[in-house]
């Protein structure tokens, strides 16, 4: 980044117009490479676990995630009003899904 700033000053370009997009691009590339490396490691670890155990481990946190996000959503007045309203065309009650 220092080289980019020095080079842009020598050429006569505003460093803010050059360094900001380059920093954003580098941040995206670093994030993607970290995600790729972590997912590769996880796939290697999951390959060692029997398939039945692996599927159970993947699906077991889903009920807790549902409860957590339901509680977070119900704290907001606008979304809790939407969740508590009944749809006029449907006989389903959101309370069944939320509880």
| pLDDT at residue 88 greater than cutoff 80 | no
Give the structural domain span for 94. 61-99
At residue 59, the pLDDT reads 75
Burial of 15 (0-12, 13-18, 19+ CB in 10 A): middle
pLDDT tens digits for 10-46? 998 888 888 888 889 999 999 999 999 999 988 887 7
Q: Same domain, yes or no, for 5 and 38? A: yes
> For residue 55, is it within any domain?
no
- Residues with Cβ < 8 Å from 65, sequence gap 6 or more? none
- Quick one: average pLDDT of 86-91? 49
Q: Same domain, yes or no, for 38 and 67? A: no
Tokens for 25?
């691009």
At residue 94, the pLDDT reads 54
Burial of 2 (0-12, 13-18, 19+ CB in 10 A): exposed
Q: Same domain, yes or no, for 33 and 78? A: no
């Amino acid at each position: 980044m220092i080289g980019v700033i020095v080079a842009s000053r020598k050429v006569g370009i505003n460093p803010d117009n050059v360094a900001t997009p380059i920093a954003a691009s580098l941040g995206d590339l670093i994030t993607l490479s970290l995600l790729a490396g972590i997912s590769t490691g996880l796939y290697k670890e999951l390959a060692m676990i029997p398939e039945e155990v692996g599927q159970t481990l993947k699906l077991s946190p889903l009920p807790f995630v549902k409860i957590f996000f339901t509680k977070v959503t119900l704290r907001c007045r606008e979304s809790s009003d939407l969740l508590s309203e009944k749809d006029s065309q449907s006989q389903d009650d959101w309370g069944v899904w939320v509880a």
